[in-house]
Amino acid sequence: MFELPSGAEIQNIIASLKAGAGSFIPEIYLSILFMALILVDLATKGRKPILLGWLTFAGLAGSMFFIHQQHQMEAGELFFGMYVLDEFAIFFKYFFVVSAMFAVVLTMADRRFDTEVKSIGEYYALIVAMLIGMVMMAAASDLLMVFLSMELVSLSAYVLSGYFKRDGRSSEAALKYLVYGAVSSGLMIYGFSLIYGLTAQTNLLLISAELAEHGYDPLVMMLATLLILAGFGYKIGAVPFHFWSPDVYEGAPTPVTAYLSVASKAAGFALLLRFFYIVIPHGLSPYEDIAGSEWLALLAIISVASMIYGNVVAIWQKNVKRLLAYSSIAHAGYLLLGVIVMDSIGTQAVLFYLLSYLLMNYGAFYVIILISNRTGSENLDDYRGLGRKMPLAGAALTVFLISLVGLPPTVGFIGKLFIFSALLSKGSLYVGLALVGIMTSVISLYYYMLIPLNMFLRESLEPNEREQNPGLFANVLMAVLMVLTIWFGLFFEPLSEFAHYSSALFGLSFY
């Protein structure tokens, strides 16, 4: 039975909303951008896709200004603890906005949108809607908020991945994504309800305090952890919650694939880090007694399984997007290694790895789009001899792939270096995990190199084609991304400083 709130309570609520709104400006701004895009699309009757694209891009760029202002604000809870503002959340705001900007650029580059799609208006709006969801995922500090923001992301993503309505594979992707998403959401919400049952709280910090104070039944807690991991695991695309990813990656429009693989995965990690680091009670030496070892062991199993499965199955892929889907499963495994370390070095390693992944994965997908504009295909066989026809694209893709393997001098190497450093900073405790990590990265070399192998080592099926130039803008963007991938592999201080600075989670005492 609900009682109507008293006047004083309403006053209280309004005051909290007012206080919170000041720290909620980027989200409000993005919501306005979302609506504005729909209106502009209506006004132009969908005839100006390029205008809409650039408008989205500019709008997203503008949001950085408001995000930047949040650095001055004090970290804390908003809206009765539904939401938090901390450097960790701000990091992910930047991260998602940049991801969305890349997704917009990739969309404008992809020629398939010209033929497959009649109206592009809702597309950009959905990109922004998904962005809002992800931004809120990274800052949610209440079970309800966690669930709501995840659903906002998922619903937008379902539509986006099926955006090529006339393409059967795209529709299949959307349906698969939906079905798996629904199941894992259901499991996760069941896990939430168990936690609520244990603690009668929904706020993460309060749950943590409650668990520490009153203890709990380990079996129930374990079950809850497992169920919640199903939800998070689905978002990060880790084994055994990965079944959707190869089909969705292959079927979805390539920019959406890239967006999902980078931003959606990162959102999953943001949530994973905040949820587990906050909820499981911690003291001076965190997690040593209470259920900690179990969920860390669970994560370790998921991580090892992801690294092995993703890297091994990728070997037999013939489609480049599918290949990158398996590679992204493997990368979820590497990122989980950083989570397992459970301290600021681990968090920092995860954040850095995500930054490097953003750069190299978007770079790779951008080149794949440019190539598919030419060849109309993402099959490995159609990459034969392309290196000679599109030398810059070939070189750039090779650099991105080398970075994905984790070879110096690329940013991907530094990402792996930080992950392994974090593991080894605990002495010999995690050497086994590190060993799996490096062994599987050797395997990954084989399938990543299949792409340069086809591009450079094999002759084209139609040898007489001339050099093809994807255009000035594309060339410059590719070159810039390529140089950045190498530059940050040699001079990674700014990125790692940023990651270090951003590893502060509100409410976590062991930093």
| Six-digit token string for 394 | 């070939």
Closer Cβ to another protein, 290 or 395, answer by number? 395
Closer Cβ to another protein, 184 or 496, answer by number? 496
Please give the Cα distance from 330 to 306 (Å, whole number): 5
Shortest distance (Å) from residue 70 CB to another protein = 22
Instruction: Name the residue among 131, 103, 123 with its Cα closest to residue 164.
Output: 123
Closer Cβ to another protein, 61 or 315, answer by number? 315
Q: Which residues contact 209 (CB under 8 A, 6 or more apart)?
A: 281
Closer Cβ to another protein, 7 or 494, answer by number? 494
Instruction: Name the residue among 336, 314, 309, 312 with its Cα closest to residue 325.
Output: 314
Closer Cβ to another protein, 166 or 318, answer by number? 318
Shortest distance (Å) from residue 239 CB to another protein = 22
Shortest distance (Å) from residue 278 CB to another protein = 19
Shortest distance (Å) from residue 337 CB to another protein = 13
Shortest distance (Å) from residue 305 CB to another protein = 20
DSSP for 204-217, please give it. HHHHHHHHHHH---
3 state SS of 342:
coil
Q: Which residues bind another protein (CB under 8 A)?
A: 343-345, 348, 388, 391, 398, 402, 407-409, 413, 416-417, 420-421, 424-425, 427-428, 431, 434-435, 438-439, 441-442, 445-446, 449, 452-453, 456-458, 490-493, 496-497, 500, 503, 511
Shortest distance (Å) from residue 446 CB to another protein = 6
Closer Cβ to another protein, 201 or 398, answer by number? 398
Instruction: Name the residue among 488, 506, 467 with its Cα closest to residue 403.
Output: 488
Please give the Cα distance from 263 to 103 (Å, whole number): 10
The stretches of 376-408 forming alpha helices (DSSP H) are: 386-389, 391-405
Q: Which residues contact 319 (CB under 8 A, 6 or more apart)?
A: 250, 378, 379, 380
Closer Cβ to another protein, 38 or 417, answer by number? 417
Q: What are phi and psi of 469, to 5 degrees?
A: -105, 120
User: Count of CB atoms within 10 A of residue 72's CB?
Assistant: 6
State the Cα angle at 154 between 70 and 337, rounded to 5°.
70
Shortest distance (Å) from residue 422 CB to another protein = 9
Shortest distance (Å) from residue 493 CB to another protein = 6
Closer Cβ to another protein, 38 or 75, answer by number? 75
Contact call for residues 500 and 419 (beta carbons, < 8 A): no
Shortest distance (Å) from residue 140 CB to another protein = 25
| Secondary structure (H, E, C), 250-291 | HHCCHHHHHHHHHHHHHHHHHHHHHHHHHHCCCCCCCCCCCC
Closer Cβ to another protein, 146 or 399, answer by number? 399
